[in-house]
Amino acid sequence: MGSLIEDGRKFIEDADRIMVFSGAGLSTESGIPDFRSPGGLWSKYDPADFYFDKIISDKDARVKYWKMSSESYKLMTAAKPNAAHMAIKKLENIGKLFCIVTQNIDNLHHRAGNSPEKIIEIHGTAFSVSCLKCGKKYNRDDIEKMIDSGIKDPLCDECSGILKPDTISFGQAMPEDKMAEAIQCAGDSDLCIVLGSSLVVYPAASVPAHAAKSGSKLMIINREETPLDSLADLVIHGSVSHVLSEVVRL
């Protein structure tokens, strides 16, 4: 692996506009289970209950959804940024980080200290809540207090509309503005570093693919193979936090 680490260092040295694309494998190394992994939330809940159409049409589905979402949120708030998050912060400190495009909803890039304007959360964030009717925004902790007090299906205090965390659910449209920004960022980057993403979820996985096709070098750091490995200039299989901290020399 030593020569691969050296190759990664050279890629970073030569780059001026680095895009980081992060997925669940980055979060698992901070103790947040992947929904799909053994022991993850999909081993306790049926994801079919959480399709967007069902959430907005079925009160019982919303009660189940909030129970699952609250359990997940508590795990996220207890988690801390790992060495890979801090390596990304170092890339910003040395002036090489162009942007972060993340599939993660856990706020860890923010808590690591990266500039909010550099972070594009294409699957949203679990740390705020919005009314689906009038758009009023809420701090997530305030909604969690309502749930802890026994309110199982919280509603908007402005218009009685349905409340939902600002995350993208199954069957819910991706935010067009964030996807457009991510694709633009990919096209303007000169190095794309994929961290802990299986690259099987679309349209998110089209972002690093677009970077590679636009002339950016593609480095993939992931424990398992991905469908884009053959497109990459460098693939390193291993722990995301260990490998990236070595590549960035933390």
Q: For residue 13, how many other CB atoms are within 10 A of its CB?
A: 8
Q: What pLDDT digit, counting tens, does each position of 133-177 carry?
A: 999 999 999 999 999 999 999 999 999 999 999 999 989 999 999
Q: For residue 120, how many other CB atoms are within 10 A of its CB?
A: 22
Structure tokens at 162: 């349905």
Question: Which amino acid makes up residue 236?
Answer: I
Catalytic residue, chosen from 85, 123, 237, 242, is 123
Contact 124, 105 (CB under 8 A): yes
Q: What is the mean pLDDT of residues 23-48?
A: 79
For this structure, is 123 an active site residue? yes
DSSP class per residue in 202-247: TTTTHHHHHHHHTT-EEEEEESS--TTGGG-SEEEES-HHHHHHHH
pLDDT score at 213:
96
pLDDT score at 237:
97
Task: Answer yes or no: is pLDDT of 45 > 90.
Answer: no
pLDDT score at 34:
75
CA nearest 104: which of 247, 209, 240? 240
pLDDT score at 111:
98
pLDDT score at 46:
78
Tell me if the bond preceding 208 is cis, omega within 30° of 0. no
* Cα dist from 80 to 23, 26, 41, whole Å: 16, 11, 20
In terms of CATH, what superfamily is 1-32+81-123+174-250?
Answer: TPP-binding domain (3.40.50.1220)
Q: The whole model's pTM is what?
A: 0.94
Please provide the CATH number assigned to the domain covering 33-78+124-167.
Answer: 3.30.1600.10
Q: What pLDDT digit, counting tens, does each position of 188-225 carry?
A: 999 999 999 999 989 999 999 999 999 999 999 999 99
Q: What is the mean pLDDT of residues 40-60?
A: 84
Q: What is the mean pLDDT of the chain?
A: 94
Q: What pLDDT digit, counting tens, does each position of 105-134 carry?
A: 999 999 999 999 999 999 999 999 999 999
Lowest mean pLDDT of 30-34, 87-91, 92-96, 155-159, name the range. 30-34
pLDDT score at 40:
61
Task: Return phi, psi of residue 53, to 5°.
Answer: -60, -35
Task: Answer yes or no: is pLDDT of 49 > 90.
Answer: no
How many Å is the Cα radius of gyration of the chain?
Answer: 19
Beta bridge partners of 128: 139
Task: Answer yes or no: is pLDDT of 36 > 70.
Answer: no
CB < 8 Å & 24+ apart, contacts of 221-229: 221/8, 221/193, 221/194, 221/195, 221/196, 221/247, 222/25, 222/194, 222/195, 222/196, 222/197, 222/198, 223/25, 223/196, 224/198, 226/194, 226/197, 226/198, 226/199, 226/200, 227/199, 227/200, 228/194, 228/199
Which residue ranges make up each domain of the chain? 1-32+81-123+174-250, 33-78+124-167
